[in-house]
Amino acid sequence: MANIREVDAILHVVRCFIDDNVVHVAGSVDPVFDKEVIDTELQIKDLESIEKKILRISKIAKSGDAIAKGDLKTLEMYKAALEAGKNARSVEATKEDLAAVRDLNLLTIKPVIYVANVEEASVNSGNKHVEALREAVKDENAEVIIVSAAIEAQIAELEEEDEKLMFLEEYGLKESGLSQLIRASYGILNLITYFTAGEKEVRAWTIKKGWTAPQAAGVIHTDFEKGFIKAEVIKIADFQQYKTEVAIKEAGKMAIEGKEYIVKDGDVMHFRFNV
């Protein structure tokens, strides 16, 4: 539980396939039941955290403290939801509500992606187990991604990228399940990627969506942010099309951006700075 409390998001893998050779601990495949077993454990821990805080601030609230009274109301709201078997993320909460429980780092308030592990034949369209799972999580604003671990294991054994693409095409897939999970994880964590490209290497850098060019530069080195002057920005599609910086400049595809520029997903950037 301690490890889960420290993460920013949860990937919950749920079995959605029937295979007599793979024994299920409960004796039958029921993804909704499996999900609820884990949910219950996490909800109990969240209830413990909330009840401790309720005890801690109740006296303050009774004394008339407005902030404590508001926090107490929020805590009671989350407590009621958890006691009803709902995850905290399913509660319609305001910014103030979220602030009131932020210090508790609730387990069931964390964003989650449900990974429906299916047999190979169901990797495109899903199956009845996937549909049951989707119905069960519809109030959580959570994404359900269909993945076949069997297919992913075979892809992992292939070394060449062309081989992987051909293998995916055989199943009518455009990308691997792992790629889907990475993209979805970036989405719920509000992350994007920008690139730097030099003569020796191209590197990807992960930043928060909405960050400015100086903030993005600071991920490479704090001096880049402190002494930021400007950024030369190329869209990844243009970089792939024109190949060289000279060709990109001749086509007018390089933009010069200042401190207020909001970095876009896939930007290729070169920073000018002075410290």
Q: What is the pLDDT of residues 184-218, one digit of tens each?
A: 999 999 999 999 998 888 999 999 999 999 999 99
Given a cut of 80, whether residue 2 has pLDDT beyond it is no
Q: What is the pLDDT of residues 6-63, one digit of tens each?
A: 999 999 999 999 998 887 877 889 999 999 999 999 999 999 999 999 999 999 999 9
Among residues 102, 85, 94, 8, the alpha carbon closest in space to that of 41 is found at: 85
According to CATH, the superfamily of the domain at 191-273 is Beta-grasp domain (3.10.20.30)
Given a cut of 90, whether residue 83 has pLDDT beyond it is yes
Mean pLDDT for the chain overall = 95
Q: Dihedral, CA atoms, 240, 245, 250, 255, nearest 10 degrees?
A: 80
Domain boundaries, the chain: 1-189, 191-273
**Is beta strand 112-117 parallel, antiparallel or unpaired with respect to 143-147?**
parallel
> How many other C-beta atoms can be found within 10 angstroms of the C-beta atom of residue 89?
20
Task: For residue 173, give both structure tokens.
Answer: 């897939």
Percent of the chain surpassing pLDDT 70: 100
Supply the pTM of this predicted model. 0.87
Q: Which CATH class is domain 1-189?
A: mainly alpha
Q: What is the pLDDT of residues 144-185, one digit of tens each?
A: 999 999 999 999 999 999 999 999 999 999 999 999 999 999
Among residues 128, 184, 136, the alpha carbon closest in space to that of 34 is found at: 136
What distance in Å separates the CA atoms of residue 131 and residue 134, rounded to the nearest whole number? 5
pLDDT at 275: 84
Task: For residue 136, give both structure tokens.
Answer: 């069960």
